[in-house]
């Protein structure tokens, strides 16, 4: 199970998270988010992050031009589209050689069939909790809804993931194509600043479980 740590913006905190070797690291380019990177990111440092850690820019209804400019500026490998972007936006970004993660907000009324319109133009889906904000609402949705997911496209699970429910997700991953988890607010001391001790605990839980399963 891959781990994505999202919503980073402070240099020393980013360095500590990078040392943990997550699979993905996310930076939010949405001005209304309390985790908006603003002008805080050190361009040269971000570009120097090891290639095995994939850098993700998170955008909400941004223009393709802006997304591609940020991808180039920080050498991002993925654009995560967290708004109401249509499939043609995903296609145009992906045609420029950028991997696309399309996020969807899930509640009981979500129509999983509409994902078929997107799957050709996305590398991964991300399922988050439907709430007041495009993301970062800090609560899980009813994961039983994922039983309606009949697609082969792997996805990241997001929304209120913490140390108290990670075992449930690991169990869920045995029956669903969960590619990884996207963690944010449950692992913070304040918006945009990650709690390294909590993340270390998460990483050891997930990786020990993987090791046990590989040896079983």
Task: Report the alpha-carbon distance of residue 17 to residue 38 in Å, rounded.
Answer: 19
- pLDDT above 70: percentage of residues in the chain: 94
pLDDT at 184 over 60: yes
Percentages helix, strand, coil for the chain (3-state, rounded to 5) are 35, 25, 40
Residue 51 pLDDT = 95
Q: Give the separation between CA 130 and CA 21, rounded to whole angstroms.
A: 29
E strand or H helix at 89 = helix 87-94
CB contact at 8 A, 23 and 2: yes
User: Torsion angle, CA of 188/193/196/199, rounded to 10 degrees?
Assistant: 50
Antiparallel, parallel or unpaired: β 188-190 and 193-194: antiparallel
Burial class (CB in 10 A: 0-12, 13-18, 19+), 105: buried
Please name which of 181, 126, 177 lies closest in space to residue 152, comparing C-alpha atoms: 177
Q: Per residue in 91-122, pLDDT tens?
A: 999 999 999 999 999 999 999 999 999 999 99
Does position 25 have pLDDT exceeding 70, yes or no?
yes
Residue 21's pLDDT band, with cuts at 50, 70 and 90, is: very high
How far is residue 174 CA from its own chain's centroid?
A: 20
Q: What is the maximum alpha-carbon separation in the chain?
A: 48
Is the overall model pTM greater than 0.85, yes or no?
A: yes
Model pLDDT for residues 141-177, shown as the tens digit of each residue: 999 999 999 998 999 999 999 999 999 999 999 889 9
* Domains along the chain with CATH numbers: 2-215 (3.20.20.70)
What mean pLDDT is reported for the chain? 93
């Amino acid at each position: 199970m891959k781990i994505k740590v999202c919503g980073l913006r402070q240099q020393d905190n980013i360095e500590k998270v990078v040392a943990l070797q997550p699979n993905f690291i996310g930076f939010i380019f949405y001005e209304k988010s309390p985790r908006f990177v603003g002008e805080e990111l050190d361009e040269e440092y971000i570009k120097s992050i090891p290639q095995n850690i994939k850098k993700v820019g998170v955008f909400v209804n941004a223009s393709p031009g802006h997304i591609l400019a940020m991808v180039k500026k920080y050498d991002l490998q993925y654009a995560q589209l967290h708004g109401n972007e249509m499939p043609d936006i995903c296609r145009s970004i992906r045609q420029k050689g950028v991997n696309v993660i399309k996020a969807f907000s899930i509640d009981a009324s979500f129509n999983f069939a509409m994902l078929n319109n997107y799957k050709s133009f996305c590398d991964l889906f991300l399922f988050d909790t439907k709430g007041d904000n495009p993301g970062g609402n800090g609560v899980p949705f009813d994961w039983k809804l994922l039983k309606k997911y009949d697609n082969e496209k792997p996805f990241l699970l997001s929304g209120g993931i913490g140390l108290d429910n990670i075992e449930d997700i690991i169990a869920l991953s045995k029956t669903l194509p969960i590619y990884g988890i996207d963690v944010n607010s449950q692992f913070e001391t304040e918006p945009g600043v990650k709690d390294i001790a909590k993340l270390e605990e998460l990483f050891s839980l997930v990786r020990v479980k993987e090791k046990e399963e590989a040896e079983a």
